[in-house]
Amino acid sequence: MSRRQLERGAALRGMVSSEGIVPLGADFPTDGSGPDTDCHILHLDMDAFFASVEQLRNPEARGRPVIVGGTGPRGVVSSADYLARAKGVHSAMPMVRATRLCPDAVVFPPDGRAYREVSEAVMDILRSVTPLVQPLSLDEAFLDVSGARRRLGGPVHIAAMIRERVRSEQRLTCSVGVAATRFTAKLGSTHCKPDGLLLVPTDQVRDFLDPLPVGALPGVGDKTEQTLVKLGLRTVGALARVEPDLLRMELGTKAGTRLSELARGVDTSAVVPESPDKSIGAEETFDVDVGDPDVINRELLRLSEKVARRLRATEQVGRTVSVKLRRADFSTISRSRTLPESTDVAREISAVARELYAAAGMERVRLRLVGVRVEGVTPADQAHRQLALGEEDTGWRDVERVMDRVTARFGQGAIQSAVLAKRDENDV
């Protein structure tokens, strides 16, 4: 986050009153009957993402300011946690200056591979809710949950569920804005950082926007802001009351029209996934490191069912199955196998995943995380599955589709594999 973005965020948090913004509590409606009824757009923003990942990987850094960036004489800051930000550190700042401002900070060089891996896991959580996910970067994304409401409840309930899953599965925090438009949802997530959830009801959007500085609007850089201030337009509310023709004359037709609409809370842009899924996966971080192969195999089955369910929900199939196995010391290995035919059947995915786990020689190694992923994903109608000579159709695909329908109607856990059901009984 740049210095200018930090300043805008601070202004947003400092100038927006909570009056008119619906407070969130345990009694908030979960069925979409509350003030979030038409607020189907979510914006998720991970909190100090790079720095938070480094704190996870390096427990000795917890509780201390963390800075991520180049450590050479010309190095610059890529990310800083909130302790470091409180000392004035921000992204793009020379590292020499950052360490002067915050001499007790722990500095880590960027590890793009580690950040992409965690980002991928977070995006998998989002795509398990809806296929309409538009990542903006490694640490933020828009979601359109209009199609998930019948299955999962109201938008605020979905946002709370996502935040809890990110916390429990990735041990990271995120902030989520909920609104009827992308623009307002993004401002909402900025306003409630860190580790917050904010709903901006449609009938209160103007109350939310009007006090903001014009610099809070996307597309308003230093030059545009100076132009608006010379016109006496310092707040979004003032901008909203100006005739659009004046803004078009001063800023150009396109920019003037866009800013006039945003100031009035109008944003017709849709959530558009960047590209079709190339892979679909799921993973689980255990509360306590696990070394029991039976427990690991049951978890691989559960994750395989989760992946297969997502494949079927998006009418896709995949051909390569991979597993991720992370030891207690955070070292991670991956193994994969390509199948003769593409599949969306959990039983087939699970069988390969368990074989890969056994072949990795880690059946007595304590693991902190396991994951299952299907790669080489293509639309199901483009994949032609053929039975080999003498092979019988097992019918498992039909069985699992019936399970999908039961789950969609009655919720998660209404029906599951006997192995997983037995596990749950033993846990009671």
- In this predicted structure, what is the pLDDT of residue 309? 87
Are 53 and 190 found together in one domain? yes
Q: Name the domain boundary from 201, 234, 263.
A: 263
Are 205 and 351 found together in one domain? no
Q: Is residue 187 part of a domain?
A: yes
- The Cα 395–Cα 398 span in angstroms is 5
Strands 77-80 vs 316-327: parallel, antiparallel or unpaired: unpaired
- The Cα 91–Cα 163 span in angstroms is 25
Are 1 and 30 found together in one domain? yes
For CA atoms 64, 67, 68, 70, the dihedral sign is negative
- Residues at the binding site are 45, 139
Are 259 and 314 found together in one domain? no
Tally of domains in the chain:
3
Set 54, 140, 284, 348: catalytic member: 140
Are 284 and 357 found together in one domain? yes
Are 296 and 351 found together in one domain? yes
Q: Is residue 271 part of a domain?
A: no
Here the CATH number for the domain that contains residue 94 is 3.30.70.270
Q: Name the domain boundary from 209, 231, 252.
A: 209
95's enclosing H/E stretch is helix 95-101
Q: What is the dihedral of CA 51, 144, 167, 325, to 10 degrees?
A: -80
Q: Is residue 410 part of a domain?
A: yes
Q: Name the domain boundary from 164, 192, 209.
A: 209
- In this predicted structure, what is the pLDDT of residue 420? 55
Buried b (16+ CB within 10 A) or exposed e, 171-200: ebbbbbbbbbbbbbbbbbbbbbbeebbbbb
Here the CATH number for the domain that contains residue 250 is 1.10.150.20
Q: Is residue 427 part of a domain?
A: no
- The Cα 307–Cα 281 span in angstroms is 6
For CA atoms 403, 344, 163, 216, the dihedral sign is negative
Here the CATH number for the domain that contains residue 306 is 3.30.1490.100
- The Cα 183–Cα 45 span in angstroms is 13
- Residues at the binding site for Mg(2+) are 45, 139
Are 47 and 141 found together in one domain? yes
Domain of 371, in residue numbers: 279-421
Q: Is residue 428 part of a domain?
A: no
Are 59 and 190 found together in one domain? yes
- In this predicted structure, what is the pLDDT of residue 277? 64
What is the value of pTM for the model shown? 0.66
Q: Is residue 398 part of a domain?
A: yes
Are 373 and 285 found together in one domain? yes
Ranges under pLDDT 50 in the chain? 1-27, 386-393, 410, 414-415, 421, 423-428
Are 140 and 256 found together in one domain? no
Taking only the tens place, the pLDDT of each residue in 79-138 is 999 999 999 999 888 999 999 999 999 999 998 888 988 998 999 899 889 989 999 889
* Upper half-sphere CA count for residue 303 (Cβ side, 13 Å): 32
Q: Is residue 426 part of a domain?
A: no
Contact 214, 232 (CB under 8 A): no
Q: Is residue 269 part of a domain?
A: no
Chain-centroid distance, C-alpha 340: 33
Are 172 and 216 found together in one domain? no
Residue 140 annotated as catalytic: yes
Are 335 and 256 found together in one domain? no
